[in-house]
Amino acid sequence: MNVRYLPLLLLAAFGVALAADLGYPLDAPAPDGRRPGGTLTQEFPAPRIAPEENKDMRRERNYPEQPPTIPHTIAGYQVDKYGNRCLACHSRANSARSQAPMISITHYMDRDGQPLAAMSPRRYFCTQCHVTQAEVKPLVENGFENIDRLLQQEANPAGHP
């Protein structure tokens, strides 16, 4: 045996002896988090994924430059280096025929803001920024107010119209 590994082996043996001496139970209650109950060694099935919202209605954006959310299901859409199903409706060439919003002009710019003839490769994978929605109960309280509401409250502090 190589002498270099002897301190590591002794440290591991000491750790095992210390852990056994403490008698730490592996079935101690797990901290209640997003999946409450059970013990550290128990495995629970993951909760079911909520179905995607499919209302096909534009949503209000909460702040400037927020990427719009996807108002329809994209299950089965191919978005990879071989193809992008989103462009079948949202490309410059197809948006008029499909009546879908055309992708933003920012998707036709390089990293220096210079216009490109084709879509920028940096903006090709839509789901890096755009996400579908699901109607679910929020996990935590959310008191977010968009900028328009905050400006309105600032202009009318006493609630006067």
User: Which segments are annotated as binding site for heme c?
Assistant: 72, 86, 89-90, 107, 126, 129-130
CA nearest 57: which of 47, 69, 45, 74?
69
Residue 60 zone, left/alpha/beta (φ > 0; ψ -120 to 50; rest)? beta
CA–CA dist 121, 127 (Å, integer): 14
CA–CA dist 156, 161 (Å, integer): 7
CA–CA dist 41, 25 (Å, integer): 10
Q: Which residues are annotated as a binding site?
A: 72, 86, 89-90, 107, 126, 129-130
